[in-house]
Structure 1
Amino acid sequence: MKQLYIKQKVFSLGEKFTVRDQQEQDVYYVEGSFMQIPKTFSIMNVERDEIALITKKVFSFLPTFFVEVDGREVLTIKKEFSFFKARYTIDSADIEVQGNWWDMDFEVLQHGEVVGKVSKEWFTWGDSYKVQIVDEAMEKIVIALVVAIDCVKADQAAASSAATH
């Protein structure tokens, strides 16, 4: 089982962060588009080849995020209409998320088999997540899913902050 760690830089203007392995070596680079429409996050390997892309849909009533891995769309995260607590759904043909993904404590399943586990690391500066890759063939999809969920959470936080001002 492979373990990776995502630690976002607090107050990162360009929204850049890395995914590292247990030896603290960079494995993936994540870069958000700055002041660009549509908002995107690109995930690149160490050779800086793009392996995944997360795009926020423009001009939709409720926020929707598309996740592509190796050039094909693998899942969509959509906000559902609700009056009280924000609710989201993850649409995918063969990927399921079980657990509390809002608190970054969940398992990723493919056809009922666990392929990855995510847990939030506590007592760290900024958001830090431990990602366990059970099926290494699913590594890119699991990393893209974690980054996409983090994008959704950041988008929700920004929307909530804007609504209170």
Structure 2
Amino acid sequence: MKQLYIKQKVFSLGGKFTVKDQQERDVYFVEGSFMQIPKTFSIMDTTREEIALITKKVFSFLPKFFVEVDGREVLTIKKEFSFFKARYTIDAAGVEVHGNWWDMDFQVLQHGKVVGKVSKEWFTWGDSYQVQILDQEMEGVIIAIVVAIDCVKADQAAASSAATM
């Protein structure tokens, strides 16, 4: 089992942050596009080779995010129409997310087998997540799922604050 940690910088305009291992070494770099349409997040390894790309669909009635890992689309996160509480669904072939993914406390399953676990670190400055990788081959997908869900949450928070102005 491998433990990784994601800690976002609270005041990062472009959405830049790193994924670290237990020894606090950088394992992945995440960079969000700044003032670019469509909004994207690129996940790169230590050689700066892109392993995953998250793209927010433009010109969509409801928000939709596409997640690509190693050049192939692995999942889509989309907002469902509802009058009260925001509801999102995750569509992925063979990959499921069980638990409270809105609060970042969930398991990632592939064909019914748990391949990763995510939990939010409380009492930290900014958002911090602990990610347990149980299947090494799914590491890129799991990191992409965590970043994508966090991107959806940030998008929802921005939309909510804009609506109250």
Q: Per the shorter chain, which TM-score range?
A: over 0.9
What whole-Å deviation, never above 9, does each CA across 1:92-149 have from its counterpart, x for those lacking one? 1100000000000000000000000000001110000000000010000000000000
1:163 equivalent to 2:158? Answer no
What is the CA–CA distance in structure 2 between the aligned matches of 1:77 and 1:14, rounded to whole Å? Answer: 21
Which runs of structure 1 show a deviation greater than 3 angstroms over 4 or more consecutive aligned residues?
A: none
What is the CA–CA distance in structure 2 between the aligned matches of 1:146 and 1:14, rounded to whole Å? Answer: 18
* Structure 2 letter corresponding to 1:159: A
The TM-score with structure 2 as length reference comes to 1.00
1:28-47 equivalences in 2 (<5 Å): 28-47=28-47
Residue of structure 1 in register with 2:118 after alignment:
118
What is the CA–CA distance in structure 2 between the aligned matches of 1:54 and 1:14, rounded to whole Å? Answer: 14
What is the CA–CA distance in structure 2 between the aligned matches of 1:79 and 1:14, rounded to whole Å? Answer: 23
What is the CA–CA distance in structure 1 between the aligned matches of 2:56 and 2:13, rounded to whole Å? Answer: 18
Q: Taking every aligned residue pair, what percent have the same amino acid on both sides?
A: 85
1:1-150 equivalences in 2 (<5 Å): 1-150=1-150
What is the CA–CA distance in structure 2 between the aligned matches of 1:54 and 1:65, rounded to whole Å? Answer: 7
Alpha-carbon shift at residue 73 of structure 1 (Å): 0.2
Gaps of 5+ in 2: none
Alpha-carbon shift at residue 14 of structure 1 (Å): 1.7
What is the CA–CA distance in structure 1 between the aligned matches of 2:16 and 2:71, rounded to whole Å? Answer: 21
What SS is found at the alignment partner of 1:15? coil
What is the CA–CA distance in structure 1 between the aligned matches of 2:62 and 2:123, rounded to whole Å? Answer: 33
What whole-Å deviation, never above 9, does each CA across 1:21-64 have from its counterpart, x for those lacking one? 00000000000000000000000000000000000000000000
Alpha-carbon shift at residue 11 of structure 1 (Å): 1.1
What SS is found at the alignment partner of 1:137? helix
What is the CA–CA distance in structure 1 between the aligned matches of 2:99 and 2:51, rounded to whole Å? Answer: 26
Number of matched pairs: 165
Alpha-carbon shift at residue 13 of structure 1 (Å): 1.2
RMSD: 0.3
Alpha-carbon shift at residue 151 of structure 1 (Å): 0.2
What is the CA–CA distance in structure 2 between the aligned matches of 1:81 and 1:14, rounded to whole Å? Answer: 29
What SS is found at the alignment partner of 1:160? helix
